[in-house]
Amino acid sequence: MDPFNENKPKRSPWLVVLAVLTFIFSGFSFLGYFTLSFTSGVMPSVIEMYENAGMPSEMIEAMQKLAEVPSWQYLLLSLGYALAVVGAALMLKLNKVGFHLYVIAQIWLFVMCNLVIKGALTMNWMSIFTTVLIIACYGLLMREALMNKNDGNQFSDYEEVNDQDDDDDE
- Tell me the per-residue pLDDT of 21-79, one tens digit each, with 9 for 90 and over: 999 999 999 999 999 999 878 888 888 898 888 888 888 888 888 888 899 999 999 99
Q: How far apart are CA 141 and CA 146, in angstroms?
A: 9
Residue 53 neighbours by CB distance under 10 Å: 7
Q: What is the mean pLDDT of the chain?
A: 85
Rounded Cα distance between 38 and 29, Å, is 14
Give the three-state DSSP class for 64.
helix
Q: In a 10 Å sphere around its CB, with 0-12 CB exposed, 13-18 middle and 19+ buried, how is residue 138 labelled? A: buried
pLDDT tens column, 81-130? 999 999 999 999 999 999 999 999 999 999 999 999 888 789 999 999 99
112 is in which domain, residue-wise?
13-165
What local confidence, expressed as pLDDT, does residue 121 receive?
A: 87
**Has residue 71 been placed in a domain?**
yes
CA dist 131 and 129 (Å) reads 5
For residue 4, tell me if it sits in a domain.
no
pLDDT at 156: 47
Rounded to an integer, what distance in angstroms lies between the CA atom of residue 150 and that of residue 60?
Answer: 55
Distance CA 80, CA 78 (A): 5
Residue 6 belongs to some domain of the structure: no
Asked if residue 170 belongs to a domain, the reply is no
CB-CB neighbours of 58 under 10 Å: 8
Q: Is residue 43 included in any domain, yes or no?
A: yes
Q: How many domains does the chain have?
A: 1
- On whether the CB atoms of residues 90 and 97 are closer than 8 A, the answer is yes
| Alpha carbon distance 7, 58 (integer Å) | 57
CA nearest to 15, candidates 77, 102, 82, 81: 102
